[in-house]
Amino acid sequence: MPQYFFAIRAGADDTKLERAAVLKDDAAAFAYACRIASELIRSVGPSDPRMLIKVRDAKRALVFSVPVLPACA
């Protein structure tokens, strides 16, 4: 199963912290990123409308990005 890396971008900067997860496929990675977005909304609120979660594969190539929006909560 593929490994994915999840990093939060707020403004123009990516955070130094990232989560890694071994997941079935891109759809499972998308669902996981949505759960992270929901956790962020509940814990810190929608502080930056440009905040998003960048999802990268094992080679660190960008697979997709998920915006962190109040609707994600």
Give me the residue spans of the domains in the chain. Answer: 3-72
Spatial CA neighbour of 40 closest among 57, 52, 28, 55:
52
User: Tokens 């990232």, residue?
Assistant: 18
Q: pTM here?
A: 0.83
Question: Each residue of 10-66: pLDDT tens digit?
Answer: 766 666 678 999 999 999 999 999 999 888 888 776 667 778 899 999 999 999 999
Q: Are the C-beta atoms of residues 36 and 30 closer than 8 Å to each other?
A: no
63: Cβ–Cβ under 8 A, 6 or more apart, which residues?
Answer: 4, 26, 29, 55, 56, 57
